[in-house]
Chains A and B, each alone.
Chain A
Amino acid sequence: MMKYLSLIIILAGAYLAVPLQFGGNDYVIGIVVSALTIAGIAVAWAMLGNLGGMISFGHSAFFGVGAYGSALLAMNAGLPVFPSILAGGVIAGVVSILTMPTLRLRGPYFALAMLAFAEIFRILAIEMRWLTNGSGGLLSIPRLPTVFGFDFGSRLGGYFVVLTLVLLTVFVYWLIRNRPEGLALRAMHDSEDATLVVGVNATRLKAAVLVVSAFLTGIMGAFNAHYINFLEPDYAFNGSWTTLAIVAAIFGGYKTLWGPVAGALIVYLVDQFVFKAIMPSGHQLILGGLLAAIVIFSPSGLLPWLASRFRKEAGDAAHP
Chain B
Amino acid sequence: MLLTLDHVTVAFGGLVAVSDVSFSVSEHEVLGLVGPNGAGKTTLFNAISGLVRPSKGKMTFCGHDLTGIPIHKRARIGIGRAFQVPQPMHELTVRENLIVAQHFGTGHSNPGKIDEILDLTRLGHKANRDAASSLALTEQKALEVGKALATNPRMLMLDEVLAGLETNGKRAFMQTLDDARQRFGVALLMVEHDIETISNTCQRVLVLNFGKLIADGSPEEVFRNPEVIRSYTGGETA
A residues bordering B, Cβ < 8 Å?
180-181, 183-184, 186-187, 190-191, 193-202
Contacts and interface: CB of A to CB of B under 8 A. Distances in A.
Contact of A187 (B50, B80, B83, B100): B100
Given A180-B103, A180-B104, A198-B150, A187 B89 contact: yes
Given A180-B102, A198-B101, 11 more contacts: A180-B99, A180-B100, A183-B89, A184-B100, A186-B92, A187-B91, A193-B87, A195-B89, A196-B71, A197-B87, A198-B105
A197 B150 contact: no
B87 A202 contact: no
Contacts, number: 79
A197 B88 contact: no
B68 to A, nearest CB: 15
A301 to B, nearest CB: 15
Contacts of B104: 180, 184, 195, 198-201
A290 to B, nearest CB: 27
Contacts of B181: none
Interface residues of B, number: 32
Contact of A180 (B50, B51, B109, B148): B109
The majority secondary structure among interface residues of chain A is helix
Contacts of B81: 197
The CB with the most chain B CB atoms within 10 A, among A181, A183, A184, A193, is that of A183
Interface string B5-47: 0000000000000000000000000000000000000000000
Contacts of A194: 83, 87-89, 147
A200 B102 CA distance: 10
B230 interface: no
A183 B75 contact: no
B96 interface: yes
Contacts of A187: 89-92, 97, 100
A187 B76 CA distance: 19
A196 B51 CA distance: 9
The CB with the most chain A CB atoms within 10 A, among B74, B87, B102, is that of B87
Give 3 closest A-B pairs by Cβ, nearest first: A187-B89, A199-B75, A180-B103
Interface in B55-111: 71-76, 80-81, 83, 87-92, 96-97, 99-105, 109
